Amino acid sequence: MMFHQIRKDIQVIFERDPAARSIVEVILCYPGFHAILFHRLAHWLYGKKRVLLARIISQLARFLTGIEIHPGAKIGQGFFIDHGMGVVIGETAEVGDNVTLYQGVTLGGTGKEKGKRHPTIGNNVFIGSGAKVLGSITIGDNVKIGAGSVVTKPVPDNSTVVGVPGTIVRHMGVRVNPEMEPTKEVPSGPTENLPDPVQEMLRCLMERVNALEQSQKAKESQFDVFEIIQHNESSKRGV
């Protein structure tokens, strides 16, 4: 059973990381792989109420990998941490199946509240580098969270979130912002074609400025016609 699980973990790395070249390389050089192995042992001990020993193992894993996963966190199958330095997963976090995290991701809390204080992540979720998912919120299935985003509110299934604070810019394959041209095309990869809300806002502002400039020019042209008429009438009276 244990070796079957390890084999599945290695297979997941080959499926999601094109840089992986050999099984030996994965076993020796992938901190995300090491971190999940340590976590499974620590989580098992945590479930047996051997909390101190579980915490010691998790801290050893943090020292060796740069990845901190609390022994109480629940992590599903097909979990993949790419690079991994700076990843933090809190005690009451729950992670579904086939989830991918990049370096610097935090699944954390927002204060000193008791009980469930960390996020619940659904299945088939991608979370980009440096993203922060904070609080006892639920991130739905098939969600993509862009690099550097800060998410503090629940996210429905099949959504794309970017920015600070995290903003849903795509849902069910359709852009959410009505200013944007709707499309039913879903990005082919986790990091491809993620919309930039700041860029879209600037584009909308430029369109508005252009519209105002055109309106102003139309008014100026109208005034020029009036001036010409007045000039002609004055000329006739002078004659």
Same domain, residue pair 126 and 224: no
Residues 29 and 117 in one domain: yes
Instruction: Tell me: do 18 and 65 sit in the same domain.
Output: yes
Residues 12 and 30 in one domain: yes
Interval 2-15 mean pLDDT = 87
174 and 67 both lie in a single domain: yes
Distance from the Cα of residue 193 to its chain's centroid:
13
The pLDDT of 142-160, averaged and rounded, is: 91
- Which position has the higher pLDDT, 49 or 113? 49
One-letter amino acid for residue 57 of the chain: I
Return the beta strands (E) in the chain as ranges.
Answer: 68-69, 74-75, 80-81, 88-89, 94-95, 100-101, 106-108, 120-121, 126-127, 132-134, 138-139, 144-145, 150-151, 159-162, 167-171, 174-175
**d(C-alpha 84, C-alpha 80), whole Å:** 9
Phi, psi angle pair for 226, to nearest 5°: -60, -40
From the list 18, 22, 29, the residue with the least C-alpha distance to 64 is: 29
Q: Number of folded domains in the chain?
A: 2
Instruction: Verify that 108 and 226 share a domain, yes or no.
Output: no
Burial class (CB in 10 A: 0-12, 13-18, 19+), 27: middle
- Report pTM: 0.71
Q: Name the strand (E) or helix (H) holding 179.
A: none
Tell me: do 85 and 148 sit in the same domain: yes
We report the CATH number of the domain holding residue 146 as 2.160.10.10
User: Which residue range(s) make up the domain with 213?
Assistant: 196-239
Q: Does one domain contain both 211 and 142?
A: no
> Model confidence at 188, in pLDDT bands (50, 70, 90)?
very low
Could you read off the pLDDT of 153-181 as tens digits, one per residue?
A: 999 999 999 988 888 888 887 777 644 44
User: Are 202 and 101 in a shared domain?
Assistant: no
Same domain, 53 and 72: yes
Strand, coil or helix: what is 155? strand
Q: Average per-residue pLDDT in the chain?
A: 83
- 113 and 12 both lie in a single domain: yes
- Return the pLDDT at 143: 92
Report angle CA 65, 102, 95 to the nearest 5 degrees.
Answer: 90
Give the percent of the chain with pLDDT over 90.
50
Please give the residue that has the higher pLDDT: either 37 or 239.
37
Evaluate if residue 61 carries a pLDDT over 70.
yes
